[in-house]
Amino acid sequence: MKESYATLDTTAHPLAGQTLTGASIIVQVLADEGVQTVFGYSGGAILPTYDAIFVYNQNQSQGGGQRMPLVVPANEQAAGFMAAGYARASGKVGVCIVTSGPGATNTVTPVRDCMADSIPIVVICGQVGTSAIGSDAFQEAPVAAIMGSVAKHVFLVTDPAKLEATVRTAFEIARTGRPGPVVIDVPKDVQNWQGVFQGSGRLPMAGYRQRMNRLARNVLGEAQATQFFDLLAKSERPLIYAGGGVINGGATKALREFSREFNIPVVTTLMGLGVDDTTHPLSMRMLGMHGTAFANYAVDDCDFLIALGARFDDRVAGNPPKFAKHARHIAQIDIDASEINKVKNVHWHHVGLLPEALQALISHGRRTRFARDWSAWLKHCADMKVAHPMDYDRSSPLIQPYYVIEEINKLTQGEAIISTGVGQHQMWAAQYFDFKSPRLWLTSGSMGTMGFGLPAAIGAKFAHPERLVIDIDGDGSIRMNLGELETVTTYDLGVKVVLLNNFGDGMVRQWQKLFYKGRMSASDKSLHKKDFVKAAQADGFRFAVRLDRKEDVPRVVKEFIEFQGPAFLEVVIDPDAGVYPMVGPGQAYDAMITGDHIVSRTEPVAVEPGASEMF
């Protein structure tokens, strides 16, 4: 039975009690949730909602309100990555609206990408009418079945009276707990339906809310804090291992305070870059398969590892029994109970909100006047930075990718938003850029999705139009969403695109050289003659330059960064440039390959991975 107008709390929302279409209800809830930009591509099954956005913006313009721009990419996958880039850069929920069938299935990859990296987005898909579902109607796809295995949650709205509550609940699920993507599949007749706008209300998700309430109530108490500091007191070489969960949980400030308060060095995962200021003395930068040598050695040498918002994944702990092999104790704080003891057994743990947990530890340490002299350990870490720095062949006549990034970094000073595709360029950017703050590093970490960089940069620029946003990309990766160059110029976005061109899939080639006896199966694209500069010019880039002389690098890079507006720079780099250090699949850090220019503590040998080991 529908609630009457008279019983509604009309003070809660100015539109409460009014009759709206389902599509208008969707758009109004987006506005209520603080959505400022929507990314998507239209189609028949989502047309009512697109029309509602148009009408909403028209009304806002006439009334002097805040419009909700709808950004149209070249395809729906890019729309999903734009929403993800927006979410990663802003910390808010990104929104993607697409049509049914292929429109929805094109977003599967960004949805899975966001799930893997714990990124909050809401994807709203059009669907065929409810009476046609299951009939193989035109542009029908079983979205709930497809997305159910890759999203945090999926809703199929068949009762239009529940539409408003469903959209509000989707945002709640996306942003709370361990963030993730939520998909709402909305049939066209539900969008066209007319009903009373409530202005509030969510679905009865009792189990989920109980879990969230337990997390919030699970405060780190005195007994737990005492146990933690007992372990810390026994340590001579403590080390913080921080992951992307620190950023997602809003715990960057607390982590830095904890690290500085007790003088504990920090290594970060790929997703955790920016958690600690990479220019700070306590920062040991990134660990893992392509982490710095000194970070990996610090992990090997530490005797107490403190894992914060990190999950011991295979890119970090490729050989779990030998990971942190000298650590007598491991502590772990995470919001997700399933991550505790999943890969490495720990001696102390806490499941809960990370900022509150760290503040509890800081307060306990101050109250008990905890103090330890770790000067020998700190000197050891500082000495390792000097003894095993990142380096490369600086005398080579060819342009080295590391040199290009160093030159850009001199100008950006750790303040730019950097997005990447996936491959060698991704690792070079992670290794050679500085990041003074969180949410400056946007990359597809767990999924490793090529084509991520350019659309993610676009999303970030909409989130932060005042900031410098640079996409560091590769010739293989950028091809996957090359059509978004036109999106950059269409919206006159000052996005900078750096294409490090080595004429092939460099990371695959590096593995083929190391582990497949140099058999370059389908990875050498040197016969492809695409002129990327002409492509950028055709898409409207007024600055589109090809850099192929080493002596021109400083000048051209400066011109590129200082150019006002969209800029495209293709750099022809040494095709044999490799990503080092490298820890082979299934290997421990003592088998790390450091290449010819980074000093190693050992003499590792490339070991061919077993048939079951991952890329």
Cα–Cα separations (whole angstroms), residue 122 to 170, 172, 358, 520, 546: 7, 10, 30, 40, 38
Residues 178 and 316 in one domain: no
- How far apart CA 133 and CA 166 sit, in angstroms, is 19
pLDDT digits (tens, 9 = 90+) for 49-59: 999 999 999 99
Q: Which residues contact 282 (CB under 8 A, 6 or more apart)?
A: 259, 260, 263, 264, 265, 266, 276, 378
Residues 279 and 374 in one domain: yes
What residues pair up with 420 in beta bridges, in sequence order? Answer: 472
Total domains in the fold of the chain = 3
Residues 227 and 94 in one domain: no
Which of left, alpha, beta for 248 (phi over 0: left; psi -120 to 50: alpha)? alpha
Is residue 19 one of the residues assigned to a domain?
Answer: yes
Is residue 125 one of the residues assigned to a domain?
Answer: yes
pLDDT digits (tens, 9 = 90+) for 424-478: 999 999 999 999 999 999 999 999 999 999 999 999 999 999 999 999 999 999 9
DSSP 44: G
DSSP string covering 310-346, please? Answer: ----TTT-SSGGGTTTT-SEEEEEES-GGGTTSSS--
Residues 422 and 332 in one domain: no
Consecutive H or E run containing 382: helix 375-387
- How far apart CA 437 and CA 253 sit, in angstroms, is 10
Q: Is the dihedral of CA 514, 519, 521, 527 positive or negative?
A: positive
Residues 381 and 456 in one domain: no
Residues 21 and 136 in one domain: yes
DSSP 163: H
Q: What is the pLDDT of residue 9?
A: 46
Q: Domain boundary at 358, 387, 416, which? A: 387
For the chain, report the end-to-end CA distance as a whole number of angstroms: 56
Q: Domain boundary at 185, 214, 243, which? A: 214
Quickly list H helices, 18-150. 22-32, 47-63, 76-90, 102-105, 108-117, 143-147
Is residue 602 one of the residues assigned to a domain?
Answer: no
Q: Which residues contact 403 (CB under 8 A, 6 or more apart)?
A: 392, 394, 550, 553
DSSP 593: B
What would the mean pLDDT of 533-560 be, rounded to a whole number? 98
Nearest to 456 by CA among 414, 424, 484, 498: 484
Task: Answer yes or no: pTM beyond 0.85.
Answer: yes
Which 3 state secondary structure label does DSSP give 589? helix
610 pLDDT more than 80 = no
Residues 225 and 206 in one domain: no
Is residue 612 one of the residues assigned to a domain?
Answer: no
Residues 368 and 418 in one domain: no
Is 139 an active-site residue? yes
What residues pair up with 266 in beta bridges, in sequence order? Answer: 240, 283
Is residue 444 one of the residues assigned to a domain?
Answer: yes
Spatial contact of 459 and 89, defined as CB atoms under 8 Å apart: yes
Q: Which pLDDT band, with edges at 50, 70 and 90, does 8 fall under?
A: very low
Catalytic pick from 81, 92, 115, 188? 188
What residues pair up with 126 in beta bridges, in sequence order? Answer: 186
Is 188 an active-site residue? yes
Is residue 564 one of the residues assigned to a domain?
Answer: yes
- How far apart CA 432 and CA 444 sit, in angstroms, is 18
Number of C-beta neighbours around residue 98 at 10 A:
27
pLDDT digits (tens, 9 = 90+) for 288-329: 999 999 999 999 999 999 999 999 999 999 999 999 999 999
CATH code, domain carrying 210: 3.40.50.970
Q: Domain boundary at 197, 214, 231, which? A: 214
Mean pLDDT taken over the chain: 94
Q: Are strands 348-351 and 283-286 parallel, antiparallel or unpaired?
A: unpaired
Give percent helix, percent strand, percent coil of the chain, each to the nearest 5: 40, 15, 45
Q: What is the pLDDT of residue 439?
A: 98
Q: Percent of the chain at pLDDT above 90?
A: 91
Catalytic pick from 28, 33, 39, 76? 76
- How far apart CA 16 and CA 188 sit, in angstroms, is 23
- How far apart CA 567 and CA 197 sit, in angstroms, is 45
What would the mean pLDDT of 567-595 be, rounded to a whole number? 95
Is 507 an active-site residue? yes
Catalytic pick from 507, 543, 570, 582? 507
Catalytic pick from 18, 139, 359, 537? 139
Q: What is the pLDDT of residue 5?
A: 30
Residues 13 and 78 in one domain: yes
What dihedral angle (degrees, nearest 10) is formed by the CA atoms of 80, 60, 3, 201? 40
Nearest to 438 by CA among 262, 222, 273: 273
Is residue 342 one of the residues assigned to a domain?
Answer: yes
CATH code, domain carrying 297: 3.40.50.1220
Residues 463 and 317 in one domain: no
Q: What is the pLDDT of residue 2?
A: 34
Catalytic pick from 54, 58, 66, 138? 138
Structural domain that includes position 434: 401-576
Is residue 156 one of the residues assigned to a domain?
Answer: yes
Q: What six digits make up the tokens of 431?
A: 């290794």
pLDDT digits (tens, 9 = 90+) for 172-219: 999 999 999 999 999 999 999 999 999 999 999 999 999 999 999 999
Residues 430 and 292 in one domain: no
Residues 466 and 556 in one domain: yes
Q: Which pLDDT band, with edges at 50, 70 and 90, does 516 fall under?
A: confident
pLDDT digits (tens, 9 = 90+) for 92-140: 999 999 999 999 999 999 999 999 999 999 999 999 999 999 999 999 9
pLDDT digits (tens, 9 = 90+) for 228-274: 999 999 999 999 999 999 999 999 999 999 999 999 999 999 999 99
DSSP 292: -
